[in-house]
Amino acid sequence: MKVYRKEYKMPDRIIMKLPQDVFIYILLRLPVKLLLRFRCLSKSCYTLIQSSTFINIHLYRTTTSEDEYILFKRSFKEDVESYKGIFSFYSSYNDDGDLNYIFPDLDVPNMTSLYSIDYDKIIGPCHGLIAVMDSRSTILFNPSTRKYRLLPSSPFGIPKGYYRSIDSGGFGFDSVVNDYKVFRISDVYTEDRYGYPEEGERKVEVYEVGIDIWRELDHVDQDLPRLFWLTSSMYYNGAYHWITTLNHEDKLIILCFDMSTEIFRNINTPDTRQFPSGTCHSLVLLDECLSFMCHPYLGPEIDSTTDLIDIWKMKDYNVYESWTKKYTIRVLPIDESPLAVWKDSLLFFQGKSGYLMSYDFKSEEVKEWNLHGCQKSMRAIVYKESLVPILRSQSSTQLQNI
């Protein structure tokens, strides 16, 4: 017992002897798992590590690609109507791209239905936080601290005789009000006497995490391009982005929703090739730039000499002239959309077998990994460790730990 008390008091003595900036520099080199344990050693450590000042210093610290981790979400069938989602954590400590299992798998909370498995998406990271979302539920999760929170449902109903279609949703950070936001885009419509939907009204609902309030936007452009839940999308540079086409035109664009102004705008896409079997488009992050991927739909006949994949990078954000074709690679057995690009060298995707696959931009090697899930259920996010907290709601929904 005496030894334990001596070890417990030791951090206080270290802090007293070291200048605080030196001590903070030492703490910044520790993984979050150790930092969380370190809070329990003394009141001084707890106060320092929990402070908003240290959390912000840790968030904006200088990092390298070696500090990147990748989180996979995959699902398995438990019974006829129930599915189990799992978070799997991996890292890489060398340049050959090998995946290293670093933490035990975690169950994904509140996402157990077939609907959630087929139509969920992972959004982020945003200051180390991610959102796991389907059209019914949203979970905010910090992979580093294992803290999560199920957000309250939107309180807005629809008039009697009307129907609602949830077209899309997203998550991001508003730097002006210093708060995180979740939003949903829906179409509220009626049906004619034959049961066909008539033209409805587009609605956007925004939830501000810090103040626990849902509200409806009153300036929604009713001519917004049509979005679909599984449309390729991502949060980047303070805005949420989708690939879509302009209404009544066959022009491909990137639609953006600015998280601060809450206004939609367009970014023009580069001119890309079209494929006889059908053309798919996806957004990816490459070299920390918004990037655009054009690939053929995997039909019964693929011509390996002409059915190639193009990846374009927008070097200067929102500057059309900065679009540059970064790669043209051979066709890959991508079942739907790519999952993520890791360390700017590995393109991950889920094959038709359900297993994780990758393409190495440097070696051009295609590899299948021993990681699998239900078909089309795999998601991935690349993140760096963060201490950013998920604020508690004022309602009955509480912060929890996985």
Residues 169 and 241 in one domain: yes
CATH number, domain with residue 351:
2.120.10
* 248 confidence band (pLDDT: 50, 70, 90): confident
Identify the domain containing residue 25 by its residue range. Answer: 20-59
Question: For residue 271, how many other CB atoms are within 10 A of its CB?
Answer: 9
Q: Is residue 149 exposed (0-12), middle (13-18) or buried (19+ Cβ within 10 Å)?
A: buried
> Can you list the alpha helix ranges (DSSP code H) found in 292-333?
none
What does the pLDDT average to over 6-25?
A: 63
Task: Please indicate, yes or no, whether residues 306 and 279 belong to a single structural domain of this protein.
Answer: yes
Q: What is the pLDDT of residues 377-386, one digit of tens each?
A: 899 999 999 9
pLDDT of residue 396: 41
Residues in the chain: 402
User: Is the pLDDT confidence value at 306 over 50?
Assistant: yes
In a 13 Å sphere around the CA of 240, the CA atoms on its Cβ side amount to: 29
128 sits in the region (left: phi over 0; alpha: psi -120 to 50; else beta) called left
Are residues 311 and 253 part of one domain? yes
Both 80 and 53 in a single domain?
A: no
Structure confidence by residue, pLDDT tens digits, 44-84: 889 999 999 999 999 999 888 788 899 999 988 887 777 88
Instruction: For residues 38 and 120, state if they share a domain.
Output: no
pTM of the model: 0.89
**Phi then psi for 128, rounded to 5 degrees?**
90, -10
The Cα 345–Cα 190 span in angstroms is 48
30 within some domain: yes
Q: How far is CA 80 from CA 76, 84, 110, 206, 327, in A?
A: 11, 12, 17, 35, 43
The verdict on residue 7 lying in a domain is no
- Encoded tokens for 215: 């509200």
Distance CA 347, CA 380 (A): 11
Does 76 share its domain with 52?
Answer: no
Average pLDDT over residues 137-142: 94
Residue 345 to residue 97: CA distance in whole angstroms: 8
Secondary structure of residue 14 in the 3-state scheme = helix
Q: Is residue 95 part of a domain?
A: yes
In the prediction, which pLDDT does 269 show?
A: 95
DSSP-derived pairing of the beta strands 100-107 and 83-91: antiparallel
| Same domain assignment for residues 168 and 272 | yes
Give the amino acid at 111: M
The answer to whether position 2 is within a domain reads: no
Average pLDDT over residues 334-343: 88
198 Cβ partners below 8 Å, 6+ apart? 189, 190, 191, 192
DSSP assignment string, 209-223: TTTTEEEE-S---TT
Q: By C-alpha distance, which of 254, 210, 211 is closest to 235?
A: 254
Task: For residues 26-40, give the mean pLDDT.
Answer: 89
Q: Give me 126's structure tokens.
A: 């945003």
Task: Tell me the average pLDDT across 145-157.
Answer: 92
Beta bridge partners of 205: 184, 216
Shared domain for 40 and 83, answered yes or no, is: no
Residue 13 located in a structural domain? no
Q: Please tell me the predicted confidence (pLDDT) of residue 93.
A: 63
71/370 Cα distance (integer angstroms): 15
- Long-range CB contacts for residues 28-33, cutoff 8 Å, separation at least 24: 28/57, 28/58, 28/61, 31/385, 32/144, 32/145, 32/385, 32/386, 32/387, 33/144
Query: Is 171 part of any domain?
Result: yes
pLDDT surpasses 50 at 397: no
Sheet containing 379-384: give its strands across: 100-107, 83-91, 68-77, 379-384
Higher pLDDT, 278 or 255: 255
Examine the pLDDT at 392 and tell me if it is beyond 50: yes
- Is pLDDT at 7 greater than 50 in this prediction? no
Last residue of a domain, one of 33, 59, 85: 59
Task: State the pLDDT at residue 14.
Answer: 54
Residue 4 has a pLDDT of 38
- 49 and 81, same structural domain? no
> Rounded to 5 degrees, what angle do the CA atoms 355, 120, 234 make?
95
398 assigned to some structural domain: no
Residue of higher predicted confidence among 80 and 350: 350
For residue 258, CA distances in Å to 22, 100, 173, 236 come to: 39, 36, 10, 10
Domain shared by 40 and 125, yes or no? no
**36 is written with which tokens?**
């969380």
DSSP H or E segment with residue 13: helix 2-17
* Residue 8 scores a pLDDT above 80: no
Instruction: State the average pLDDT for the chain.
Output: 87
| Count: domains in the chain | 2
Angle separating helix axes 20-28 and 2-17, nearest 10 degrees: 120
Question: When comparing pLDDT for 248 and 58, which is higher?
Answer: 58
Residues 109 and 50 in one domain: no
Please list the residues that pair with 355 across neighbouring strands. 372
Q: Is 15 within a domain?
A: no
Residues 277 and 316 in one domain: yes
